[in-house]
Chain A
C-alpha cells in the first residue's frame, strides 16, 4: 500500500512538468521497480504457501520407511476364486512383513527384548546379534497378522518398519486344492485354475467354479473314512450334475494345503481325478452293455453262457462273482460277469465298441479348464482280445472324471456332456441338444433299470439310501504291477446315480489299494468299499441340497420289471 501511495505521489509530481529525458528515465525506473516488487511479492506469497500453508510433518519417506501408509499396491489385486455359491476358495490379502533399520533403532537391546515378547519364535540374543551386525536392512518376519502388526506399532520404535505385500490365501485349506491349484511367491499361478486362468485373475477378474464346498466336504469326509477303514493309499471322487456336466465336487486323496506348498513333486500334489488314468474295471460294463443294447435289438431275457471261462490264446476270462451258468442280460450286469460282458463286447464288434468308447468321451484327452488332464491309454494296436477285456474295463485306462461324465451322458437321457469346472450359462443351454445324443431313449431306460437292479439285487446293495432310489455299478479292478496284474492291489469303485428314474446327480468314488478288513468280512471290492461311501455321500447331499425323499410306496421300483429275468441263487 505504501508503495502505491508513493507511486501516486511521483505520478502527481510528474504530471505538472513537461516530460524531460530525466523524467522518462525515472518513469522507466519506477516501472522496473514495480515489476520487481510484484515479483518479490509473488515469491513471498509462494514461500508462505509452501512453508506454512502446505507444511507437512517431517516424513520418513526418504528412508523408505512409511510406518502405516504404504503406497497403493501396484496395479490390481489378483482376483478371487469362488465356488458356485460365492464361497471364497482363493483370495488375496495385504499382509505386512516386518523389517528393521538398525541405525534408526535408539535402543537395540530394548527393541530386541520387545520383539521377543511379541513373537514367541524370536530369540532375544539372535535378534540383537542381527541388529548389531550392521547393514541398514534386517528382514525380521514375513506375513504378520494384523494383531502382531498392531503390537509392533505400539512399540513406537522408528527403526522398525513394514513392507506390504499381497499374499494369496486359500481359506478352505486342502478342501479344493487339486482343482483350484496354488500360486507362487510372486502370485503367479502354478497349478489348477490358478495356472490356467492366471492372466484373467491377474487382471482382477473373478472366477466362479462349479464346485460346491459343502458337497466337496461331504465327499472328502466319506472318502477319508473309506481310505482309513480299508487302510488304502488314496482315492478319487467326483460329484457331477448329469444334465450339465458341472463338476460339483472333485476330491483326490491324499491332498495338500495350498497355503503351504512344500514341494511340487510330492505325491499328494497329483490330481487323481483328472490327471490320473486308471483301469477302472467293471464300471465299464455300463458302456459295453449300453453299446450292446444300442446295437442289438434284443429283449432283456437274451442270455449268455457264463458257465465256462472264455479262452483266447493265452488269455482266460474268469468271473469274480462266478455263477457258472447261463445268465440273462440283467444277471450279467448285476452279478458283474466278466464272461457275459466280454460276450456282449464281442457281439458289438471291435470297431463299433471302439467308436462307442470314443463317442462317449472315454478314450480321448478331455477338455477341462485346468492343465492337469491325463491322456487315456488304449491298447495299441487294438486286437480282438482287447475288445473282450475292454468290455469289462481292463486294458483301457481313463480318468475318473471322464468316466463319470460318460456315465452321466448315458443316464441323463443319452446326451453327451462335457465335464467342466467353471460356471458357464451356455453349457446349460446347450444340454439336451439332439446332435449330442449318444444312446437312444430306450437304451437309457434299460440302463437306468439295470443300474437300479445292481443296488436292489446285485453287487451294489450297500449303496442304497432309502427314499432316494440310487442306481449304480460296482467296479473292482486289479492294478497292473510289472507285467501282470496284482490281485492284492485293488482299485475298488462305485458309480452311483440318483434318483434313478430321472437322474440328476452322479457320484463316483474309487479307492486305491483297499485292504480287506474284518468288518467287511475280508472283502475289499467295489461293493464293500465304494458303495457304502457313495451311499453316505448321497445321504449327506440330500440334506445339503434339500432333496425330498420319496417313500417306497409312492414310487414303483424301476428295476421291478427286470426281476422276472433274474434267478437269485445263493445270494442273500
Chain B
C-alpha cells in the first residue's frame, strides 16, 4: 500500500511539474509571439515607407524634372551627332612634342643661354579660381537641396 501512496505522490508532483513547465513554455511562446508581432508591424511600417520613398524617387527622377535641373545647374547639353565619334580611332591623335635633337647633332661646346624670364611652369594651373560667381556651389548644400526640392515641386 505504501508503495502505491508514494507513487501517487510522485505522480502528483510530476503533474505539478508538468503543469509548471507547460505554463513556462506557453509564457515563452506568448512572449515570442508578442515580439514577433512587434517586429512584423515594424517590418510592415518599413515596407510602407520604402514604398513611399520609391515613389518619391520615381517622382523626383522623372525625366522632365531632371532635364529642367540639368539645364539649370549643369553646363552640359545633349551632344550634336556631328560631334560624336563612332569609333575610337576617329579621335585625332595627340600632338606629340617636337622630337629632341639627337646627341650627335648637338654642338660640341655648350654655352648656356642666359634666360631673361623664368621658365614657364610645366603644368598650367587651370583651376586657379575654382569658385565662379553665382555658381550654385557657393551656396550651402542644404540651401541647394531646398531649392531643388522647391523647383521640383512646382
Contacts and interface: CB of A to CB of B under 8 A. Distances in A.
A2 interface: no
Contact of A217 (B27, B67, B79): B67
A539 B59 CA distance: 25
B51 A175 contact: no
A542 B12 CA distance: 87
Interface string B49-89: 10110111011011110010000000000110110101000
A549 B54 contact: no
Interface stretch (A429-437, A438-446, A465-473, A482-490): A465-473
Contacts of A4: 9, 12
Nearest to A540: B78
B51 A173 contact: no
B48 interface: yes
Interface string A57-100: 00000000000010010000000000000011001111000000
Contacts of B63: 175, 213-214, 216-218
B145 to A, nearest CB: 15
Contact of A467 (B1, B58, B82): B82
A324 B79 CA distance: 43
Nearest to B23: A45
A214 B59 CA distance: 13
B78 A94 contact: no
A169 B23 contact: no
Of B12, B51, B58, chain A has the most CB atoms within 10 Å of the CB of: B58
A548 B86 contact: yes
A26 interface: no
Contacts of B49: 146
Nearest to A172: B62
Interface in B1-32: 1-2, 5, 9, 12, 19, 23, 26-27, 30
Contacts of A8: 9
A169 B54 CA distance: 11
B149 interface: no
B44 interface: yes
B9 to A, nearest CB: 7
Nearest to A88: B58
Contact of A551 (B26, B64, B78, B86): B86
Contacts of B51: 91-94
B41 interface: yes
A42 B19 contact: yes
Contacts of B23: 45, 49
Interface residues of B, number: 32
Given A171-B62, A467-B84, A88 B54 contact: yes
Contacts of A262: none
Interface in A110-141: none
B55 A171 contact: yes
A556 interface: no
A94 B55 CA distance: 11
A246 to B, nearest CB: 19
Of B27, B64, B79, B81, chain A has the most CB atoms within 10 Å of the CB of: B81
B86 A171 contact: no
B41 A69 contact: yes
B78 A213 contact: no
B39 to A, nearest CB: 13
A87 B81 contact: no
A549 B12 CA distance: 92
Interface in A1-37: 4, 7-8, 11, 15
A540 B67 CA distance: 12
B139 to A, nearest CB: 23
A306 to B, nearest CB: 36
A468 B55 contact: no
Contacts of A214: 63
Nearest to A8: B9
Contact of B81 (A69, A146, A169, A539): A539
A539 B83 CA distance: 12
Contacts of B79: 543
B64 A93 contact: no
Contacts of A216: 63
A214 B67 CA distance: 10
Nearest to B38: A69
B23 to A, nearest CB: 6
Contacts of B86: 548-551, 554
A380 interface: no
A91 B9 contact: no
Contacts of A568: none
Interface in A211-233: 213-214, 216-218, 221
Given A91-B51, A217-B67, 16 more contacts: A45-B23, A49-B26, A53-B27, A53-B30, A54-B30, A88-B54, A91-B58, A92-B51, A213-B63, A218-B63, A221-B67, A466-B82, A542-B81, A543-B78, A549-B82, A549-B84
25 contacts: A7-B9, A45-B19, A45-B23, A49-B27, A54-B30, A87-B58, A91-B55, A91-B58, A93-B51, A93-B55, A169-B55, A171-B56, A171-B59, A171-B62, A172-B59, A175-B63, A213-B63, A217-B63, A466-B81, A467-B82, A540-B78, A542-B81, A543-B78, A543-B79, A549-B81
| A-B pairs, 10 with minimum CB distance | A217-B63, A171-B58, A88-B58, A171-B59, A467-B81, A548-B86, A549-B81, A543-B78, A94-B48, A93-B52
